[in-house]
Amino acid sequence: RQDHVANTMPAPYYRFDGTDDYISATNNQITHPFYLETLFKFDNYSDGGTAVGIVDASSGARYFNIRGHSNGNIEIWRRNTTDRSLVVLADAIPDTWYHVLAYFEDATSVKAYVNGVLLVDTDSTHSAAIDNTFDKAIVGVQRLTSPTGYMKGEVAFFRVGNHEPTAAEVKELYSGASVPYKY
């Protein structure tokens, strides 16, 4: 048909080459409780120990992120200026899509889901407090101050939410449903 308009977008995702590209959204006030959610896949792990940022909420040297590691792990990392807390979620297989949602109720607790399944529900001895300087959401790199860990792979979407999703909501998010913003 002559009047047919096709979707000419090559792929419905963001592609990161692992060298210097990322997405940064600023002026987004992030406070507890909140969650980070993403659907992603890595090309491969060949960096020999490098952690790569997938989705990050940050303020200077303090951040909360979902990251991948060249050893094949998907991880949740929370850091204040001196202390860190790392939770290993799963082994990742290159070229496989993963849906990850990490919920941070307060400065020490985290619940994390991979592909709709709750894998972590824990409190940490290390605390990472959020204040009014947390205003960045970053995709494709681990932190913007002294950027390290550029992602090599694809991100289909990312979201920051402001409530604790129920198990049913997590399954809906994993399946692609839209969950309304909570006031």
pLDDT tens digits along 126-161: 777 776 677 778 888 877 767 778 888 889 988 888
Encoding tokens for residue 92?
A: 């990742």
Listed residue (177, 133, 182, 138) closest to 162, CA to CA: 182
Write the pLDDT tens digit of every residue in 48-90. Answer: 446 777 888 777 667 788 888 777 788 888 877 776 777 777 7
- Phi/psi for 172 (5° steps) reads -65, -45
Block residue for tokens 């120990």? 49
Can you tell me the distance from the alpha carbon of 136 to that of 57, in angstroms, rounded to the nearest whole number? 6
